[in-house]
Amino acid sequence: MENQGSYEMNRIILHIDMDAFYASIEMRDNPKLRGKPLIIGALPHERGVVATCSYEARKFGIHSAMNIKEAYRRCPNGIYRRPNIDKYRAVSKQIREIWNSFTPLVETVAFDEAYLDITDQVHNINEARIIAHTIKQRIKKELKLTCSVGLAYSKTAAKTASEEKKPNGYFEILSPDDFVNLIIDRDVKALHTVGEKTSQKLYESGIHTVRDVRNNKERIIKMLGKQGELIVKYSNGIDDRIVAPSRPEDAKSISREVTFQEDTSNYELLKDVLVLLALCVENKAKHYGLYGNGITLKLTYGNMKSITRSTQTFACDSAILIWQEAISLLENVDKEPVRLVGVGIHNLSKEERQISILDYLNDSEQDIELSKILEKLHKRYNLNFSDNIDKIFHSGVLHRTVEYMRKHFN
């Protein structure tokens, strides 16, 4: 790309962030919800948090990750809806198709957020602006949704830019100097990697703003080590991170978990729930052709203490074998009331290693064993798992099924 003024943009990066994504989809599909405080997440009488909310709800101080009961205290007349993850996932796929039509360098951060490196697709900054606005227009026209776009020289600057004019905004940060001038008097949380814990450490040291970071570089590096070095770099507008297209095989693990609406001390119920979670893990692993070389069990107790237990294994994508290993791990944990249970595979690879049928069930025997387990669950809960198991992969169905099991265990 040709030189633009005194600073040459070596990379041109867009950060695209959908506006109140879940809530916007619900309002698009149900016009009666428009203009009202809509909160997507757990329901007020349930455990959980806010996933997202409309901008009308944000006027009450509600935000994502807020405890749902606090949200209800602030906005008792709001409209509360559980998330429809399958619908949002389908819309996200449509959005990604639009993003991918402009550049192969798309790093998806979430259903509703991504970085796009368009350096090789343009010759000058004006062409970059055209792409940014075209993406906004296509999303609006094809999906009836809005997004905010930041155009910048780095990932940090692009994300900062996309947040400047929300909702339905567009903003540019074309040089490190522009970035520093924009954020220098903002809270340290404006810098990448500075979350709650790091910000508290900085506050306690008298460092509250980006300007404070720039004036205390050596002290921050001494206090935070490598993270401190990065924070100092970001405070000077320097961010060399590349846009790295995400691939399933780059993931470190595949897991699934559920939170009970009431703590349970029934560990036989946990074993039954682990069957369904293992099936979900198997489904995703086989979809991407991945195998795990380790299995992990996760529990969060009623006192919010979380533990993980893991074991190394052969290359595995089988629900039965995942479940069996998870059961073994479950036998050796403290038997306290449980709030959340999860299972996963880690150390992923695309290569399957042959194992001895003397040690493990072959595919046919696994199918027979699975049928026996599902029949046992059918008798216990009067639910037809065998004919409807594919529905369990949908988040909403899984959570409703687990809650039904908790209430009807016998």
Q: Is the pTM of this model over 0.85?
A: no
**Average pLDDT estimate for 153-168:** 96
Signed CA dihedral, 165, 169, 175, 176: sign only: positive
Residue given tokens 């192969």 in the structure block: 104
**Residues taking part in catalysis:** 113
The winner for highest mean pLDDT among 2-11, 165-174, 254-263 is 165-174
Residue 326, burial from CB neighbour count under 10 angstroms (0-12, 13-18, 19+): buried
CA distance 398 to 341: 13
Q: 21-85 is classed in which CATH architecture? A: 3-Layer(aba) Sandwich (3.40)
Confidence of residue 13 (pLDDT cuts 50, 70, 90): very high
Confidence of residue 395 (pLDDT cuts 50, 70, 90): confident
One-letter amino acid of 224:
L
184-235 sits in which CATH class?
A: mainly alpha
**Average pLDDT estimate for 139-149:** 97
Pick from 371, 398, 381, 344: which is nearest to 268 by CA? 381
Which CATH number does 248-408 carry? 3.30.1490.100
The continuous run of DSSP H or E covering 97 comes out as helix 85-100
**Model confidence over 91-113: pLDDT tens digits?**
999 999 999 999 989 999 888 99
CATH fold match for the domains 21-85 and 184-235: no
Q: Is residue 76 helix, strand or coil?
A: coil
**Domain assignments of the chain as residue spans, ordered by start:** 21-85, 184-235, 248-408
Residue 248, pLDDT above cutoff 70: no
